[in-house]
Amino acid sequence: MSRVSKRREMTMKQIREQQKGGFSRFIESIFDWAVHHKNYVFIGLGVIVAATVGTLVYVNNQRSNLEEARAIYDTAISTFENIMYYPEEERMDVYNSQIGSLMELVQLYPNTVPAVKARLFLGRAFFDQAYQMQDQNSINIALDHYTQAYEYASSDFFRALALIGMGQCYEQKNDFSSAFRQYETVIEKYKDAGFAPYALISMARCREMLNDPSGSLKFYERVAKEHTDSVWARYAKAKIYLEKGMKAPEGAIQLSPNDMFMDPSSGLMFR
């Protein structure tokens, strides 16, 4: 072995020994610091343990809350689905009891998905009550439930449903400008959630009620163009012919938006 090679080998060995010695000194310095500052070490470990335990407790509580919320929601929905099997004289009491359970659910577990679904269901329930009884107070309650559902929702599907519900409430209050803005938000932010055709039809309807036939026509044309194969497009085409004073082709749909109504709560009866 050449002298240069031996010198290189010795140099590498010295470097490794220096690195090893440096690491050992580093460990020793940490140990010495810990011995001289053991109170701080114990406090730090205590904080870490407390934080870990707190996190585990929080996660466990969240899981427990979700399970309890889901159980309340599932029981209520199951009862509504089977309410016709109850004696007729008991049905209203059973219905009101489960409505009360859902209202308790949204108070106890507001940040859970079952609470969002419960708010949407409650919004629809009070909307129907207002529509049947012409009760403005029920409309305000429905609007409040839909608004909270939108605020707490974690998915675009539920946000779009909440906005549609809010729009319908504003229409019942004859506030068509506010209603239009709710449907417009569905198109601007959540058009892929599955409710774009209905939102566009509703925007057109609001423009009609605001005495804006040209604006209404624009949205009917969008439905016909963007959702060609849907039943909404058939309705929109009939409206376009009507607005333009043309005779609708034979077999064209001639229904009002209420006849074509898509129930915003229809997606909630699932597990």
156-271 — its CATH code?
A: 1.25.40.10
C-alpha atoms less than 13 angstroms from C-alpha of 243 in its C-beta half-sphere: 21
Query: What is the pLDDT confidence band of residue 40, given thresholds at 50, 70 and 90?
Result: low
Query: What is the pLDDT confidence band of residue 13, given thresholds at 50, 70 and 90?
Result: low
Question: How high is the pLDDT of residue 135?
Answer: 83
Does the structure show a pLDDT above 60 at 93? yes
Does the structure show a pLDDT above 70 at 175? yes
Q: Which of 29-33, 78-82, 193-197, 236-240 has the lowest mean pLDDT?
A: 29-33
Tokens of residue 170, six digits = 């504003």
Does the structure show a pLDDT above 90 at 68? yes
Query: What is the pLDDT confidence band of residue 233, given thresholds at 50, 70 and 90?
Result: confident
Does the structure show a pLDDT above 90 at 25? no
pLDDT top residue among 106 and 39: 106
Does the structure show a pLDDT above 60 at 194? yes
> Domain spans of the chain?
156-271
Query: What is the pLDDT confidence band of residue 211, given thresholds at 50, 70 and 90?
Result: very high
Contacts of 254-263 with C-beta under 8 Å, sequence gap 24+, read 257/201, 257/202, 257/205, 260/201, 260/231, 260/232, 260/235, 262/195, 262/198, 263/124
Question: How high is the pLDDT of residue 43?
Answer: 52
Does the structure show a pLDDT above 80 at 269? no
Helix%, strand%, coil% for the chain, nearest 5: 80, 0, 20
Q: Which residues contact 152 (CB under 8 A, 6 or more apart)?
A: 110, 111, 115, 116, 119
Does the structure show a pLDDT above 80 at 11? no
